[in-house]
């Protein structure tokens, strides 16, 4: 066991492995109650979440839809709503899977905001992008896409007096695999502490299609590398990451990559520095 596995797992509040169907259902119920508590405490009646077609957003959305339905069924108000938001950049190559996710979730409302024009307009006005290599420009605009998607979600949330849901979980948090003030900006993160395999287990128990449960994860932010798998960016597999976080043996090479990436991305998991 790597010397820092326990420390990092504790810092990320990693969830213990599930012991069977009952423990999975208990975790679903706990996280649904958490979402409901967030709404009650905020006084808001709407939840907003971008749907990419991946397992993370599908799982978070299924929890959110269950949460608002539970509040309505309990007589706490007919005005509780869940809004799923499609946020393509021009034409999304896996649009059929995003639509499959929406059909599975059956949200109260589904909005579409194409961020293509906004991102391109911003890029055209940004002098700092001039002279950059195609690879650097593509990387920078990938983060801009993530931030523009969050701007769109908060615009909808502000218009509907709602909260924005994030999809970060322990396996992404440890790798800093999110855009600062992009998909890392939100009001609540109902998947916190779960490793990737556990997100898949919750998705399956919630009725997500196998096609989405076992879909190869991709942030899909770079035009030069469309559909680039997360694991190609990580340099380790999600199985390695999950094993590391849950205290199981991993290779020295994998442990070194995970620990070094965790340390290097510490600023992304912290509040802004203050004097």
Q: Active-site residues: which are they?
A: 56, 172
Please name the residue that has the structure tokens 């001039």.
130
Q: Are 197 and 242 in contact (CB under 8 A)?
A: yes
Q: Is the dihedral of CA 58, 36, 205, 196 positive or negative?
A: positive
Q: Are 95 and 221 in contact (CB under 8 A)?
A: no
Angle, in degrees to the nearest 10, between helices 55-73 and 95-105: 20
Q: Are 170 and 14 in contact (CB under 8 A)?
A: yes
CA dist., res. 146 & res. 246, Å (int): 29
- Tell me how far the alpha carbon of residue 25 is from its chain's centroid: 21
Neighbours of 23 (CB within 10 A): 14
* Bridge partner residues of 165 (DSSP): 188
Neighbours of 8 (CB within 10 A): 19
Question: Phi and psi dihedrals of 2, rounded to 5?
Answer: -65, 145
């Amino acid at each position: 066991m790597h010397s820092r596995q326990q420390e990092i797992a504790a810092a990320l509040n990693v969830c213990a492995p599930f012991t069977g169907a009952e423990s999975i259902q208990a975790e679903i119920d706990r996280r649904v109650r958490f979402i409901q508590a967030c709404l009650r405490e905020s006084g808001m009646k709407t939840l907003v979440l971008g749907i990419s077609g991946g397992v993370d957003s599908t799982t978070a959305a299924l929890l959110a839809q269950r949460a608002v339905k539970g509040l309505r069924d309990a007589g706490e108000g007919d005005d509780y709503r869940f809004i799923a938001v499609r946020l393509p950049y021009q034409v999304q190559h896996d649009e059929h899977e995003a639509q499959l996710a929406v059909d599975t979730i059956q949200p109260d409302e589904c909005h579409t905001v194409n961020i293509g024009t906004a991102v391109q307009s911003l890029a055209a006005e940004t002098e700092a992008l001039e002279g950059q290599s195609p690879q650097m420009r593509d990387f920078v605009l990938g983060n801009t896409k993530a931030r523009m998607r969050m701007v769109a979600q908060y615009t909808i949330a502000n218009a509907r007096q709602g909260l924005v849901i994030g999809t970060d979980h322990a396996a992404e948090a440890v790798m800093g695999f999110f855009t600062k003030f992009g998909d890392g900006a939100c009001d609540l993160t109902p998947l916190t502490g779960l490793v990737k395999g556990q997100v898949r287990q919750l998705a399956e128990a919630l009725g997500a299609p196998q096609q989405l449960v076992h879909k190869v994860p991709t942030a899909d932010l770079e035009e030069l590398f469309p559909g680039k798998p997360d694991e190609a960016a990580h340099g380790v597999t999600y199985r390695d990451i999950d094993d590391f976080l849950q205290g199981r043996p991993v290779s020295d090479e994998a442990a070194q990559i995970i620990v070094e990436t965790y340390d290097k991305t510490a600023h992304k998991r912290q509040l802004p520095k203050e004097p």
